[in-house]
A = this chain, B = another copy of it.
Amino acid sequence: MKYLMTFSYDGTSYNGYQKQPNKNTVQDVLEDVLTRINSNNEVSIVASGRTDSGVHAINQKAHFVLDKEVELSKLKDSINKMLPASIYVKNIKIVNDDFHARFNSKRKTYTYKINTGEYNPLEANYVYQYNKKLDIDKMREAIKYFIGEHDFTSFTKASEDKETYIRTIYEASISEDHSIISITFTGNGFLRYMVRNIVGVLIEIGSNKIKVNDVQDILEKKDRREAGITAPSSGLYLMDVEYENEN
Q: How far is the CA of A121 from the CA of B59 in the complex (A)?
A: 12
Q: Of the candidates B8, B58, B87, B122, which one forms a contact with A8 in the assembled complex, judged by CB atoms under 8 Å apart?
A: B122
Task: Assess whether B124 is in contact with A86, with CB atoms less than 8 Å apart.
Answer: yes
Q: Of the candidates B10, B118, B120, B125, which one forms a contact with A121 in the assembled complex, judged by CB atoms under 8 Å apart?
A: B10
Number of copies: 2
CB distance from A116 to the nearest CB of B (A): 16
- 1/0 per position for A112-123, CB-CB distance to B under 8 A? 000000111110
Tally of A interface residues using CB under 8 Å: 19
Q: How far is the CA of A8 from the CA of B126 in the complex (A)?
A: 16
Q: How far is the CA of A86 from the CA of B125 in the complex (A)?
A: 9
- 1/0 per position for A71-111, CB-CB distance to B under 8 A? 00000000010000111101000000000000000000000
Q: Of the candidates B8, B80, B119, which one forms a contact with A120 in the assembled complex, judged by CB atoms under 8 Å apart?
A: B8
Which of chain B's residues have a CB closer than 8 A to the CB of A9? 121-122
CB distance from A214 to the nearest CB of B (A): 32
